[in-house]
């Protein structure tokens, strides 16, 4: 934004100097000056709109990344609870939701994220893929303790990423997983 301000100031100064030494004397010269000013204003307005659109895209990407992290934290807590209770029904529903959360995480535009948010989304995607691979062969009579320990170990990592990016996890109650479309009733 400073560069744009400096360019505007330099352009304005150049026009003032040129106008001082080369004053328009005919109506055609006045029309040319007015047209030149109009073109410059239009260019500056287009640059301003482009900068605003870029910043809006960055904000939206950061919001989607934060929502992805919140959803990951929520679904890992739910999977941890389901494994702790050895509840097959809860486990299967939340494993399906984990698929949807991962799909949501893949929609985050990585090019628009800054360093920490980029690292968080990349790490959480990896954790989600690892969790899906680890739970793929799990059945009703599977090793619930091993899965419970796995999810229990990953929760602090997810919380740490959320805190590092300025989105600390909620301490009470389930996190709203807005944006997910599930058909699980």
Residue 138, exposed/middle/buried by CB under 10 A (0-12, 13-18, 19+)? middle
Give residue 170's pLDDT band: very low, low, confident or very high (50, 70, 90): low
- Residue 87 lies inside a defined structural domain of this protein: yes
Residues 102 and 41 in one domain: no
Residue 184 has pLDDT above 50, yes or no: no
Residues 28 and 94 in one domain: no
Residue 158 has pLDDT above 80, yes or no: yes
Residues 83 and 31 in one domain: no
Residues 140 and 73 in one domain: yes
Residue with tokens 């929520």: 74
Structural domains counted in the chain: 2
- Residue 181 lies inside a defined structural domain of this protein: no
- Residue 174 lies inside a defined structural domain of this protein: no
Residues 83 and 156 in one domain: yes
Q: Alpha-carbon dihedral of residues 89, 100, 180, 85, nearest 10 degrees?
A: 30
Prediction pTM value: 0.64
- Residue 175 lies inside a defined structural domain of this protein: no
pLDDT above 90 covers a percentage of the chain that reads 9
Distance CA 53, CA 47 (A): 10
Q: Supply the range of the domain harboring residue 11.
A: 2-51
- For the stretch 96-145, pLDDT in tens is 999 998 988 888 777 777 777 888 888 888 889 998 898 888 888 878 88
The DSSP code for 165 is T
Residues 63 and 122 in one domain: yes
- Residue 180 lies inside a defined structural domain of this protein: no
Residues 72 and 147 in one domain: yes
Residues 32 and 117 in one domain: no
Distance CA 34, CA 15 (A): 11
pLDDT of residue 78: 92
- Residue 20 lies inside a defined structural domain of this protein: yes
Residues 74 and 160 in one domain: yes
- Residue 171 lies inside a defined structural domain of this protein: no
More confidently predicted of 174 and 157: 157
Residues 68 and 158 in one domain: yes
pLDDT of residue 185: 38
On average, the pLDDT of the chain sits at 81
Residues 75 and 105 in one domain: yes
Residues 29 and 111 in one domain: no
Q: Nearest CA to 104 among 77, 72, 139, 79?
A: 72
């Amino acid at each position: 934004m400073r560069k744009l301000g400096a360019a505007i100031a330099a352009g304005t100064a150049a026009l003032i100097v040129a106008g001082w030494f080369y004053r328009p004397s005919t109506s055609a010269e006045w029309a040319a000056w007015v047209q030149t000013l109009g073109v410059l204003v239009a260019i500056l307005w287009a640059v301003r709109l482009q900068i605003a659109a870029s910043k809006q895209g960055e904000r939206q990407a950061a919001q989607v990344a934060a929502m992805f992290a919140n959803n990951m934290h929520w679904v890992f807590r739910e999977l941890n609870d389901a494994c702790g209770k050895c509840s097959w029904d809860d486990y299967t529903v939340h494993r399906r939701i984990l698929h949807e959360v991962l799909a949501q995480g893949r929609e985050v535009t990585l090019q628009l994220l800054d360093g920490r948010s980029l690292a968080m989304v990349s790490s959480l995607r990896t954790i989600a893929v690892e969790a899906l691979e680890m739970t793929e062969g799990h059945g009703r009579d599977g090793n619930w303790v091993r899965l419970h320990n796995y999810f229990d170990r990953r929760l602090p990592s997810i919380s740490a990423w959320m805190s590092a990016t300025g989105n600390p996890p909620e301490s009470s109650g389930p996190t709203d997983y807005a944006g997910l479309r599930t058909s699980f009733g």
